[in-house]
Amino acid sequence: MIDVERAKKLQKLLGERALRELDEYPDLDLSELTYVSGVDASYSRNEVIGVAVLLDARLLKLITYSTSRKKPQIPYIPGLLAFREAPAVISALIKLPEKPDLIVVDGHGLSHPRAFGIATHIGLVLKTASIGVAKKPLYGELKFIEGKELIVAHGRTVGALIKHEGTKLYVSIGYGVSLRSAVKLIECMLKPGVKLPLPIHEADGISKRLRL
């Protein structure tokens, strides 16, 4: 089992690193990407099921998906979700036939108490741009800035609130992508009649079928 206090210290250390690098994160455009992955996790028979889908970035069409099952190494503890779910998700991502240029994660990134949510965790481990998208807030303050609802945490603007199909989506920087690009990319991945960005929608659907 993972030592909880050690895990929190590691998150704080790596979160501080991510915040220091924040101004260096580049702008990304969907037209410049080849593959996008969406990830999700579910539970079945005391196992975490990690799901990673691979989509054509330009068409946003599902190409393939992979899965991985692992025993959780830590009980559910708020703020430490990544240590419970990321191993299975990362394993599923590694199994994909192509490495994605961007990973969209069902969860938070820098909008986390130690600036190291699951989206940042996965992106940093795989050295791949990542964005967190969650349906509920976790950490930070919503502020209206220049007509936009932005998430401010750790003294930095790390996310934004997007409203789509009657759902509030809390978008946050994971790793290696600017906030401006993160918001634009997620908006491009939204489709009428579908509440979640398409990469997460596809991963969520597969995840639900596997846990039955």
Under the banding of pLDDT at 50, 70 and 90, the label for residue 195 is very high
The amino acid occupying position 35 is: Y
Question: What crossing angle do the helices spanning 81-95 and 118-126 adopt, rounded to 10°?
Answer: 40
Q: For position 44, what pLDDT does the model report?
A: 87
Task: Please say if the pLDDT value at position 103 is more than 80.
Answer: yes
Q: Is the pTM of this model over 0.85?
A: yes
The amino acid occupying position 7 is: A
CB 27, CB 180: distance < 8 Å = yes
- Three-class secondary structure of residue 152 per DSSP: strand
Q: For position 212, what pLDDT does the model report?
A: 60
Looking at residues 74-91, what average pLDDT do you find?
93
Q: Which domain holds residue 29?
A: 4-210
CB 81, CB 40: distance < 8 Å = no
What mean pLDDT is reported for the chain? 95
Looking at residues 155-174, what average pLDDT do you find?
97
Q: What's the CATH code of the domain at 114? A: 3.30.2170.10
For the chain, what is the domain count? 1
Task: Please say if the pLDDT value at position 114 is more than 90.
Answer: yes
